[in-house]
Structure 1
Amino acid sequence: MHSLVSDNDLRVMSVQIDDNRLTVELMDGRAISVPLAWFPRLCSATPAQRNNWELAGGGYGIHWPDLDEDLSTEGLLKGARAPHPA
């Protein structure tokens, strides 16, 4: 019997950030890696601010309290970039 329930676990397992990329490893073993330039707040932050992240939304999101930045795994998988300031 087939189930309609997905085996994908989109919760965040770990986050790595360097000067060029944001990489998020998911509980199901996948990794999402995107250019840091997609997220201006993260791009202009100090390494200490970038590394001060916490899980949000039951593990389906990442919050940077020092930067007031929030990203979701769903948005990252869709390739959603942060909106550019007006």
Structure 2
Amino acid sequence: MPVSPISVRFDDHTLWVELSDGRTLGAPLAWFPKLAHATPEQRATVGLSRLGLHWDALDEDISIAGLLAGRGG
């Protein structure tokens, strides 16, 4: 069964994604300049789907497959 995101959070330098299989992935915000420069309010408007993360207002999409492969934006 494919893994999907169940929550997203940020600290000062990292995007954290909790997955449905219990793993938590961390990726440097530097990989995603739109998110790095976004406000906390903009970051909080994330949409979750079985394939990944989407911020409509920022025009940013991040796939879970890409995160698992260690790829940035």
Q: TM-score, normalised by structure 2?
A: 0.92
CA distance in 1 between counterparts of 2:32 and 2:3 reads 20
Aligned to 1:15: 8
CA distance in 2 between counterparts of 1:60 and 1:17 reads 19
CA distance in 2 between counterparts of 1:31 and 1:9 reads 15
Task: Pick 1 or 2: higher relative contact order, CA cutoff 8 A, min separation 6.
Answer: 2
Deviation of the 1:19 alpha carbon: 2.2
8 Å contact 2:6–2:48 — kept in the other structure?
A: no
Q: What stretches of structure 2 of length at least 5 have no aligned partner?
A: none
Aligned to 2:23: 30
The percentage of aligned residue pairs carrying the same residue is 49
Aligned length: 73
Moved runs in structure 1, 4+ residues, more than 6 A? none
Aligned match of 2:69 in 74, 78, 84?
A: 78
Name which one, 1 or 2, has greater alpha-carbon Rg: 1
CA distance in 2 between counterparts of 1:78 and 1:23 reads 15
Q: What stretches of structure 1 of length at least 5 have no aligned partner?
A: 1-7
